[in-house]
Amino acid sequence: MQVSWKTLLEEIRNCTLCPLHEGRTQSVPGEGSPNAEIVFIGEGPGAEEDRLGRPFVGAAGKLLDQVLEALFIRREDVYIANIVKCRPPGNRVPQDEEANACLPYLRAQVALIKPKIIVCLGAIPAKYIIGPEIRITQDRGKWVERKGFLIMPTFHPAALLRDPRKKADLWEDFKQVRDMLARMH
């Protein structure tokens, strides 16, 4: 049976399934349109996200906003979430147990939204959404189909902050997403 958004968001807000809840200011369920055709999935909340309870509002989020804007994709028309809903200490990578505890929430969100396209922002979401065999530098930009969803693995916007040469690749991947969606209409 499918849960309602209200129940799901309440569960995420009060979740204690993994130790990450101990360090959070608040959980970050995700935000955007419940009818989104594209869902973007990041790794986990950082300091700003933990403070505000919203995904991708720090430096990486500003970059994501810029790319979306340049492609005329409105942030309020898509849905943005993360593999884990609570901030890992010091922004470390989420551990398998944490990701696995949290993944049913993301699956429930995707089941409610029923997007056409899922974009994995970086190696961590690609690992959990597509599979551990994914190598982000080799496999980015290549469509994968899983359970009726078209999935695009690409770089995490934060990777661009560290290495601006990745910008052209991320841009190409996002353009592919925009063009694919246009073709699906």
**Footprint of ligand URA on this chain (CB under 6 A)?**
42-46, 49, 55-56, 58, 60-61, 82, 158
Element (H, E) at 74: none
Contacts of 154 (CB under 8 A, 6+ apart): 119, 120, 121, 122, 136, 140, 141, 169, 170, 173, 174
Q: Rank residues 128 and 185 by Cβ distance to ligand URA and give the closer one.
A: 128
> Smallest distance from the beta carbon of 46 to ligand URA, in angstroms?
5
Q: Rank residues 148 and 164 by Cβ distance to ligand URA and give the closer one.
A: 164
Q: Rank residues 117 and 124 by Cβ distance to ligand URA and give the closer one.
A: 124
Q: Rank residues 43 and 173 by Cβ distance to ligand URA and give the closer one.
A: 43
> Smallest distance from the beta carbon of 58 to ligand URA, in angstroms?
6
> Smallest distance from the beta carbon of 56 to ligand URA, in angstroms?
4
Q: Rank residues 61 and 115 by Cβ distance to ligand URA and give the closer one.
A: 61
The length of the chain is: 185
Q: Rank residues 32 and 61 by Cβ distance to ligand URA and give the closer one.
A: 61
> Smallest distance from the beta carbon of 3 to ligand URA, in angstroms?
22
> Smallest distance from the beta carbon of 159 to ligand URA, in angstroms?
10
Sort 130 into a burial class: Cβ within 10 Å, 0-12 / 13-18 / 19+: middle
CB-based closest residue to ligand URA: 42
CB atoms within 10 A of CB 72: 7
CB atoms within 10 A of CB 137: 10
Nearest Cα to Cα of residue 27 among 105, 79, 96:
105
> Smallest distance from the beta carbon of 183 to ligand URA, in angstroms?
28
Q: Biggest alpha carbon distance in the chain? A: 45
Assigned token pair, 124: 């961590």
